[in-house]
Amino acid sequence: MKEKPSFDLIFMNLATDLASRSHCVKAQVGAVLTKDTRIISIGYNGPPAGTHNCDEEWPETGCPRDSKNSCSLALHAEENAILYAVKNGMTLDGSTLYLTLSPCISCARIIYSSGIKKVWYKASYAEYKGLASDEGVDFLNKFGVECHKYI
């Protein structure tokens, strides 16, 4: 009998597929939020629905940058996933988050506060940004949210 794919693999593959829906010019990131092997929310990075589509409005120059040279208009993938869940009255306590890129420090604070207990990520935000350390990952592990690279 063929071996079944793990839920971790299935959810990470879904996060990867979702990333490709992002309209962002530079980074495309996907997120899947799960609880007890069920999906409770999904997200990808981009400005709030009904506002901007960066790739269509600024196809050549890219969208306005913030001080860290990130899109100044976009919500991050994990912010979108968490906001949707909270907006719809779901409880995130004990949930697991799958990300194609490790969380920035600002998202790490939100992840911690929302009650998510475990985070898997595919690529390192620090490597992508050329930063010395993955401060979001360090923050989560320091304060009891397991955050690991998925290999």
Q: Between helices 105-114 and 77-87, what is the axis angle to 10°?
A: 30
Verify binding: residue 71, Zn ion, rule CB under 5 A.
Answer: yes
| Residue from 31, 54, 75, 85 in contact with Zn ion (CB under 5 A) | 54
Question: Distances in Å between the alpha carbon of 42 and those of 4, 77, 85, 101?
Answer: 23, 8, 9, 14
- Using CB under 5 A, which residues numbered 92 to 111 contact Zn ion? 104, 107
Question: Distances in Å between the alpha carbon of 132 and those of 59, 65, 113, 125?
Answer: 31, 21, 25, 10
Closest approach of Zn ion to the CB of residue 33, in Å: 14
- The residue (of 66 and 93) whose beta carbon lies closer to Zn ion is 66
Please check if 104 is assigned to a binding site: yes
Residue numbers at the binding site for Zn ion (CB under 5 A): 24, 54, 63, 71, 74, 76, 104, 107
